[in-house]
Amino acid sequence: MVQMDPVLAERADIGPAAAEPARSGPVAAPVAAPETFARGAIELRGLTKRYGDERVVNEVAVSIAPGEFFSLLGPSGSGKTTTLMMVAGFVQPDKGAILLDGEDIAQVPPQKRGFGMVFQNYAIFPHLNVFENIAFPLRARRWAKELVAERVAWALDLVQLGRFGDRFAHQLSGGQQQRVALARAIVFHPPVVLMDEPLGALDKNLRFEMQVEIKEIQQRLGMTVLYVTHDQEEAMSMSDRIAILNRGRIDQVGSPGEVYERPANPFVGRFLGEANLIEGAVLGEGGDVARFSLPSGQELRAPRNPGDGSGRALLFIRPERVEIAPGTAVLSDPGVNLLQGTVRRCSFLGNILRYAVAIDGAAPVTVDLQNAIGVVPLPIGTPVVLRWPVADSLLLPAEV
């Protein structure tokens, strides 16, 4: 008999029955495959983890609704994986509470939390075929043989691996191995599935295909997913909400549209994609629209947020919101911002042309222009006018 690595076995199944003593015989289980998940609310309260003097996770607090696809997004070292491992039970928090459906599970062993888990390296047992890998959580729960076969067949069909049950890991592609890991995580009907950068090892096209499949399965089953990634597009395409982590803290939580269009600070704005952060000063106080002056004397406008005062600030605008045209600025519409500049660089990126436009007294402004039929790149050195709606501008605090 082949001996299983106990750490790998624990990570493959962190459901409650894995650590229970063996019973005298198989137990009954639902015959029909689950259609929806009724549980799975997660709340983190002041979650903190220290390594030495460094707080790698610092007072993280967030609530995740049942059936929500929630992503922890951040750069390397931001604390996202450590947070996930504390939720899973593999890392013990130094402070804070982890609530599952209102019950604190911070001191509950991982095998008793009832979560499914998908790891970046898949953690597939190499000595077991696909069927037995997926059946592992069910056999740990002492399910009857015929019920194991039925549930595994359901999971295989769900991840489109119905013909691969007798294959081993070395006979599968990366995408197929990831499907096996996903099927094993959901086959025993957990209320929550945790995913730690599960698509990081896949190429771009396959990664997008798996994003679609994971999201469709999550929506079909209504399960709660806590997902860790450093890939901004991945998080935005799959998530209901995203938490942006930076140096162990959450900088912002919101829907993909909210965090992309209305970042809370310059870090979030830059991290979620190309961003223009124009340095200048807010003139005066009061009113719904703030006047924003550049060092060159050019003036822009932006909606004023509650609490905005005067003085140094940054004006945020996404490159795809900016229009570019040759010529000189002629102010006509108070609802439109205009900037005069000169084409410094034009990069061909396939579906877009990315311009860097030199502005007097400011950093170059990036403009993304759709590469449509008939669009001809503007030559370097061309005087241009940049324009965008005042309503698309956002004032952010100046960086120290």
How many percent of the chain have pLDDT more than 70? 90
Is the confidence at residue 39, as pLDDT, over 90? no
When pLDDT is averaged across residues 321-350 and rounded to a whole number, the result is 90
Whole-number pLDDT of residue 20: 38
Is the confidence at residue 18, as pLDDT, over 80? no
Contact residues for 341 (Cβ-Cβ < 8 A; gap 6+): 357, 358, 359, 360, 365, 383, 384, 385, 386
Question: What are the structure tokens assigned to 326, written together?
Answer: 């040759």
More confident residue, 154 or 200: 154
- At 169-215, the pLDDT tens digits run 889 988 889 889 999 999 998 989 999 998 877 778 888 888 998 99
pLDDT band at residue 325 using 50, 70 and 90 as cut-offs: very high
Q: What is the mean pLDDT of the chain?
A: 87
- Asked if 117 and 11 count as a contact pair (C-beta separation under 8 A), the reply is yes
When pLDDT is averaged across residues 121-139 and rounded to a whole number, the result is 91
Whole-number pLDDT of residue 121: 81
Whole-number pLDDT of residue 38: 55
Contact residues for 273 (Cβ-Cβ < 8 A; gap 6+): 232, 260, 318
CB burial of residue 92 (10 Å; 0-12, 13-18, 19+): exposed
CA torsion angle for 7, 9, 13, 19 (degrees, to 10)? -80
Is the confidence at residue 4, as pLDDT, over 70? no
pLDDT band at residue 7 using 50, 70 and 90 as cut-offs: very low
Distance between CA atoms of 282 and 293, rounded to whole angstroms? 6
Whole-number pLDDT of residue 339: 93
pTM assigned to the model:
0.85
The domains found in the chain, sorted by start residue, are 6-261 (3.40.50.300), 274-397 (2.40.50.100)
- Asked if 265 and 399 count as a contact pair (C-beta separation under 8 A), the reply is no
- At 23-38, the pLDDT tens digits run 344 444 444 444 455 5
- Tell me which long-range contacts 10-13 makes (C-beta under 8 A, separation of at least 24): 10/110, 10/111, 11/90, 11/117, 11/119, 11/123, 12/117, 12/123, 12/125, 12/133, 12/136, 12/137, 12/184, 13/111, 13/136, 13/137, 13/140, 13/184, 13/188
β-bridge partners, 316: 277, 394
